[in-house]
């Protein structure tokens, strides 16, 4: 029996090593893919500054939007592979939320202005139990998704006290999600799967971000809430222990 257990341990270790090697190879490939993509985004910015006809300008804008979607997807893929490769676990402690929200406001202010949107981050003096690095990733994913899926209006980020903890809300004035996209299974679906349900451009690129958020929230022991109505915007909430 002991010999069989030892054999199973060795086989399990080999499988884990192979899985880790595959994850690291995939992460390296995604990282290499992002380099020419970043260059293409730079050149698309330069192109938009040229004297273009309305149709050419519209085409240039669509090209940039498509490349931004690819960039978000690749960033999300790197997040997931890094978590798996490093066996990322939370280092939970009391976290002041004001610095995290201020950082989000600074990070995404330029993107909001470029898209003609308002990004409002309400001040707070509340704290929550969590991991600074993981909470930062969650907020970055949610605000990025909200801005890229909002055509008019803006995005509001705020914190509220609730029984037993606090709630961080990321609210947008976008088109909202149809009912089929609001289940936990849909939140973890790939972009391709989501497009089978909703093929509008506003929905592109958000699937992997929500999958990342859900995985990170599980690491924190946090709960993700989603309130949305088609044509009425979306609010994603993170429920954290105080």
pLDDT score for 1: 65
pLDDT digit string (tens) for 50-97? 777 888 777 887 787 777 777 777 776 776 676 666 665 667 899 999
Q: How many domains does the chain have?
A: 2
Please name the residue that has the structure tokens 């994913």.
141
Mean pLDDT of the chain: 78
CATH number at residue 41: 1.10.287
pLDDT digit string (tens) for 180-200? 454 554 554 433 333 333 334
For residues 116 and 239, give the distance between their C-alpha atoms in angstroms, rounded to a whole number.
Answer: 30
- The average pLDDT across 94-112 equals 93
33 and 112 belong to one structural domain: no
153 and 74 belong to one structural domain: no
124 and 147 belong to one structural domain: yes
pTM of the complete model beyond 0.85: no
For the ranges 12-21, 184-193, 233-242, which has the lowest average pLDDT?
Answer: 184-193
pLDDT of 25 above 90: no
Most confident of 86-95, 101-110, 117-126: 117-126
pLDDT score for 193: 35
User: Of 86, 107, 138, which closes a domain?
Assistant: 86
30 and 106 belong to one structural domain: no
| Strand (E) or helix (H) holding 188 | none
In terms of residue numbers, what domain contains 165?
93-241
* The pairing of beta strand 234-241 with beta strand 223-228: antiparallel
Percent of the chain with pLDDT over 90: 31
Most confident of 38-47, 79-88, 93-102, 198-207: 93-102
CATH number at residue 143: 3.30.565.10
Do 209 and 189 meet the contact criterion of CB atoms below 8 Å apart? no
Following DSSP, what letter does each residue of 4-71 receive, concatenated?
HHHHHHHHHHHHHHHHHHHHHHHHHHHHHHHHHHHHHHHHHHHHHTS---HHHHHHHHHHHHHHHHHH
């Amino acid at each position: 029996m002991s010999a069989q257990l030892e054999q199973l341990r060795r086989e399990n270790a080999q499988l884990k090593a192979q899985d880790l090697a595959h994850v690291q190879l995939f992460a390296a490939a995604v990282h290499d893919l992002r380099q020419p993509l970043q260059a293409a985004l730079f050149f698309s910015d330069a192109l938009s500054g040229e004297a273009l006809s309305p149709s050419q300008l519209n085409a240039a804008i669509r090209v940039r939007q498509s490349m931004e979607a690819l960039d978000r997807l690749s960033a999300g893929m790197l997040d997931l592979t890094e978590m798996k490769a490093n066996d990322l676990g939370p280092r939970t402690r009391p976290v002041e939320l004001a610095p995290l929200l201020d950082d989000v406001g600074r990070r995404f202010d330029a993107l909001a202005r470029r898209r003609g949107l308002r990004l409002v981050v309400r001040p707070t003096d509340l704290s929550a139990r969590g991991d600074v690095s993981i909470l930062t990733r969650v907020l970055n994913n949610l605000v990025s998704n909200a801005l890229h899926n909002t055509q008019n209006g803006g995005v509001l980020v705020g914190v509220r006290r609730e029984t037993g903890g606090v709630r961080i809300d990321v609210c947008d004035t976008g088109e909202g999600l149809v009912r089929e996209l609001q289940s936990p299974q849909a939140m973890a679906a790939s972009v391709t799967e989501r497009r089978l349900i909703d093929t509008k451009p506003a929905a592109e690129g958000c699937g992997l971000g929500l999958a990342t958020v859900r995985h990170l929230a599980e690491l924190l022991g946090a709960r993700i809430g989603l309130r949305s109505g088609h044509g009425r915007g979306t609010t994603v909430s993170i429920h954290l222990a105080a």
